[in-house]
Chain A
Amino acid sequence: MADLTNNLNSGLSELMSRLRSGVPGGHAGLMALLIILVLGFSVFVPNFASVGTLQSFMYQLPLLGLLSLAMMAPLLTGGLNLAIIATTNQSALLMAFIMRTMITPESSAGTTGTVILLALVAGLALCLLIGLATGMLIAYTGVHPILITLGTKSLIDGISIYLTRGMALSGVPEAFARTGAATVIGIPLVFVLLVIVALIVSIVLRRTPFGIACAMIGSNIEATRYSAIDTRRVLVGVYTMSSLICFFAALVMLATFNSASADYAQSYLLVTILAAVLGGVDPFGGFGTVGGLMLALAILQVISSGFNQFGLSNYLTVAIWGGILIFVAMAQTMRPYLAGLLPPRGGSPK
């Protein structure tokens, strides 16, 4: 017992140090950008600086946030998962299907609860299955993850579309739908979910042998294999993890939209890659932090919220997201050139 508390204590103190170091020093540029954006919108957009804005921000961020986390984990290993949206939709469809066929208006609260639980378990199991299958295909065939996940995306989307005939499934029970709008001390439940998942993912990637192996694989998979690490298992693990995060995204989606469909959120697929890269994830693998990703997501969401209140179209927002990524990449490319203009300050390069 004492052992457990000890572990818990050391775990918690690490968590705190993690949180403190999680304020990303390495993302000073992004941080500055975020602050400038918030200040700028507060000045120019009436009512931007309000509790309402903050709350709508917290309602809108979780879906994209969770999907981006699902994309980031494979990116760290030098791969990517194009099937995240398809997985999320199918899981949401399955849960919606179970809930609406097994719950009738006459169902008692107990039955409803049991069925919802059953639906969640089924949705989770589906994601687990998809993740394991994807991971195994990638780990054991050695085919580039772009191709494998392009195939699984097509397959999963195809099955969803075939079974639903392209229609949306609605009729989620009240009890479940309410959670989408529920708050804990004023903070939307879905946002709490995002924070928890992000923290767990961050700790797993930074602090566990599995997470470190992911980054190592992203930098050099053969050298990692030679270092007595079961790289295949790690790859299966990382795609399973990605798929499991999709389950949480499916929960958020179902709770927010009160319905599920094969073509919800499809436009988010490429945005998740954009967010990850903006947040400092190396598209070739090996480097990236959850903190940076969250910062990037906050920037994207602030732009979106601000422009919405400004009365600008959603399309313009996406265009500006793309522009921001190009701008940040340019700033990164230019930095050494700009630094080269300044006189060197000691410390000779190799």
Chain B
Amino acid sequence: MTDIVPFLRLSNVSKNFVGVRALQDIDWEVRPGEIHCLVGENGCGKSTLIKIVAGVHAPTSGTIEIGGQEVLPLDPAKAKALGIQVIFQDLSLFPNLSVAENIAIDDTLQNMLMPVNKAAMRKTTRAVLERLAFDLDLDAAVSDLSVAERQIVAIARGLAAEARLIFMDEPTASLTRAEVDRLLAIVSRLKADGIAVVFVSHRLDEVVEIAERVTVMRDGRKVGTWPVGEVDQKKIANLMTGLHIDNSIVARDMSSAEPVLEVKNLTRHGEFADIDFTLRRGEVLGIVGLLGSGRTELALALFGMHRVDSGTMALEGQPLTLRSNRDAVRAGIAYVSEDRLGLGVILPQSIGDNIMLAVMKSMTNGLGLIPDKSRKKLAGDWVQRLAIKVPSADRAVQTLSGGNQQRVVLAKWLATKPKVLILDSPTVGVDIKNKQGIYEVVTDLARQGVGIILISDEVSEVFATCDRVLHMRGGRILEEEVPGRVSEHEMEERIYA
């Protein structure tokens, strides 16, 4: 393999932040035109590594070579000039500017006094989009585009800047399967042009699908790099965590338990139609489907955030009409959003206040005040019951890891003593160790008689926790399955079909 000159080579790169070793002795190379995957749990140093290569951070020690030349010290402008482009997860686009202005933004970065040549910008843009075989309205504002289209704009911007190596940070996190395929097709076009692509991802299925080589990181160190043929998903997962993950099937037959939530013909025009199901006490019901299948829209309607157009709901036999999520919470329905950072926790505020949020109205004394004692007790109880690792409930939620943040969200809802708990992709952005912890909490709740709806697009997760699984697509429920009766692989094929 030594005959290939790597495009990028890191030797002995370490990075210390005040007292913390974020990266330790990383040796890593990326070859020209290869598709490389960089995987690891949150906090393993992936992002730091990208930022060092992009010139955002300076390494504490070690060397970086690009095309055989030592390039340190590096800054963002120099990294870009050397052909390094990073497409961050938030895409870093300018929503108020047009497609052409976003893609050819580099044309506006020269001398501040120079006039901008709009015709040249359009020409650049058209040429790049042609290379990607993609058609977009050059004058449309980026804020009007879909997420997938924005992704194309971000890639096109990298190409316009004559990238030789593109980092894509979690590029598929919010795409539908069809859109992922489209993206992968574009990536192979890039490869044909000799441009290397490094995917940073936590979805192992994709990793195996497109990459030529995989690099696994853990705790700031490189575990190793393998050709894709030599490792499978399970092995990668084990390498990432250093744990052995056992996904055994737990499905129970709950058909004799009494129903807690009955849904009939539930329809919201344009989002979902004719949804029928019955959730029983203590049952864990999975809903699998991809983004855009109507799964989140259904959850929001069950939680009262969106009105339904027709159909009925009944909770413990009583008919249920929801005008707002306050009605839902009063009735005993709770919802853990898929957007933990935006809609789940309130990051800058304290853990205690976050936990108290949904029940504080019931905690007041005769004067309408919330006694300090009950405030502390509630927070303390839940921190203990859910084993949230924190010295004090007065800390801001943003000081917690993703997994512990999600426990705070769970605590907030469990404090309302729900009869039905809807979990929408609860483990996104949670590392594998903490995922297990969240599954344990869910199983425990089910044992206590709470009806649970688990929405996910990770079949392995649903199979390892649910008693029954509904497959949703195009706003409808296609089929009902019991884990074990179909294999995980079969289910996956049906979903991605």
Contacts and interface: CB of A to CB of B under 8 A. Distances in A.
Query: So, do A and B actually touch in the complex, CB under 8 Å?
Result: yes
Interface of A: 3-4, 6-8, 10-11, 14, 17, 203, 207-209, 212-213, 215-216, 219-220, 222-230, 286-287, 340, 344, 348-350
Interface string B7-41: 00000000001111000000000000000000000
B412 A227 contact: yes
A209 B367 CA distance: 12
B131 interface: no
Contacts of B342: 220, 222-223
Contacts of A208: 364, 368-370
B343 A223 contact: yes
B372 A228 contact: no
Interface in B311-350: 324-326, 328-329, 335, 337, 342-349
Nearest to A228: B329
A209 B326 contact: no
A70 B187 CA distance: 56
Interface stretch (B70-78, B174-182, B351-359): B351-359
A317 B342 CA distance: 43
B18 A209 contact: no
B441 interface: no
Contact of A228 (B17, B344, B358, B369): B358
A8 B348 CA distance: 33
B369 A219 contact: no
Given A230-B326, A348-B19, A17 B372 contact: yes
Given A208-B370, A286-B348, A340 B18 contact: yes
A224 B366 contact: no
Interface string B379-418: 0000000000000000000010000000000001000100
Contact of A349 (B18, B329, B344, B371): B18
B367 A11 contact: yes
B361 A209 contact: yes
Nearest to B340: A223
Interface in B180-197: none
Interface of B: 17-20, 305, 324-326, 328-329, 335, 337, 342-349, 353, 356-358, 360-361, 363-372, 399, 412, 416
Interface centre among B324, B367, B371 (most CB of A within 10 A): B367
B328 A10 contact: no
Given A11-B369, A14-B369, A209 B360 contact: yes
A10 B364 contact: no
A254 B149 CA distance: 61
Given A216-B349, A219-B349, A10 B19 contact: no
Contacts of B329: 228
Interface centre among A3, A7, A219, A226 (most CB of B within 10 A): A226
Contacts of A344: 18-19
Contact of B345 (A4, A209, A223): A223
A223 B344 contact: yes
Contacts of B365: 7, 10-11
B357 A229 contact: yes
Contacts of B335: 226
A6 B335 CA distance: 37
Contacts of A7: 365-367
A6 B365 CA distance: 10
A11 B347 CA distance: 31
Interface centre among A213, A219, A287, A340 (most CB of B within 10 A): A219
Contacts of B416: 228
A226 B305 contact: yes
Contact of A207 (B305, B343, B346, B370): B370
Contacts of B349: 215-216, 219, 286
Nearest to A344: B19
22 contacts: A3-B366, A7-B366, A11-B366, A14-B372, A203-B369, A207-B369, A208-B370, A213-B360, A216-B353, A219-B349, A223-B342, A223-B345, A226-B325, A226-B343, A227-B358, A227-B412, A229-B357, A229-B358, A230-B324, A340-B18, A344-B18, A348-B20
Given A3-B366, A14-B369, A228-B329, 4 more contacts: A208-B369, A216-B353, A348-B20, A349-B20
A10 to B, nearest CB: 6
A220 B368 contact: no
A306 to B, nearest CB: 37
A90 B265 CA distance: 56
B393 to A, nearest CB: 14
A229 B365 CA distance: 19
Nearest to A12: B367
Contacts of A216: 346, 349, 353, 357
